[in-house]
Chain A
Amino acid sequence: DSGVTQTPKHLITATGQRVTLRCSPRSGDLSVYWYQQSLDQGLQFLIHYYNGEERAKGNILERFSAQQFPDLHSELNLSSLELGDSALYFCASSVTPDTGELFFGEGSRLTVL
């Protein structure tokens, strides 16, 4: 158990819909990263928050947004969903904002039909 909690574990929805994925980091970790992993693909960096502020953006679509709340949990919002958005979405947390070990959650598997 990494200490990072992601919900929901599985989500099935239709094209055009909107979903919210939630991540609770390890106790004491201020950094939260979001990654997208499509079938048999690598880990695509989406966005990084540190202590409530956005620190870096990767290849995140405009239809996607995220935020980190005062209690440090984070949410990734995916809207106007397309078939190609089907993937495993990982959240990871770390103590420091730029280096050090990332602790991954179990992921949220999104299926868009």
Chain B
Amino acid sequence: GENVEQHPSTLSVQEGDSAVIKCTYSDSASNYFPWYKQELGKRPQLIIDIRSNVGEKKDQRIAVTLNKTAKHFSLHITETQPEDSAVYFCAASGGTYKYIFGTGTRLKVLA
């Protein structure tokens, strides 16, 4: 069945450093790859997404890269700030009407 693996499960970085979170998906039909941020006690919210016809997308300090051949996609956050501390989820969807999330990465930005 469909599966999305996400690593690492926890990540601590110093303020100003970069953070990278990686995901692997199993369903070849997937064509949409979003990333959500969930702050403590709140609902997940979309921060960036990428479609299968694009290899990279950037929005200010965050970027996402996609390698369709390897079924990998990654989130890159540069110049991290304390407010970036949260749980980040990758997801994959498209073709099956399922919207499958990874297991989440708890990012801590140390001041």
Contacts and interface: CB of A to CB of B under 8 A. Distances in A.
Interface in A62-79: none
A104 B39 CA distance: 13
Contacts of A101: 34, 46, 49
Interface size class of B (residues with CB under 8 A): 20 to 34
Interface size class of A (residues with CB under 8 A): 20 to 34
A98 B44 contact: no
A45 B43 contact: no
Interface in A82-113: 90, 92, 97-102, 104-107
Nearest to B100: A45
Contacts of A33: 99
Nearest to A4: B43
Q: Is the interface of A mostly helix, strand, loop or mixed?
A: loop
A11 interface: no
Contacts of B43: 2, 90, 104-107
Interface in B25-62: 31-32, 34, 36, 42-46, 49, 51
Interface of A: 2, 33, 35, 41-43, 45, 48, 50, 55-56, 58, 90, 92, 97-102, 104-107
Given A45-B100, A101-B34, A102-B34, 6 more contacts: A41-B103, A41-B104, A48-B97, A58-B100, A98-B96, A102-B99
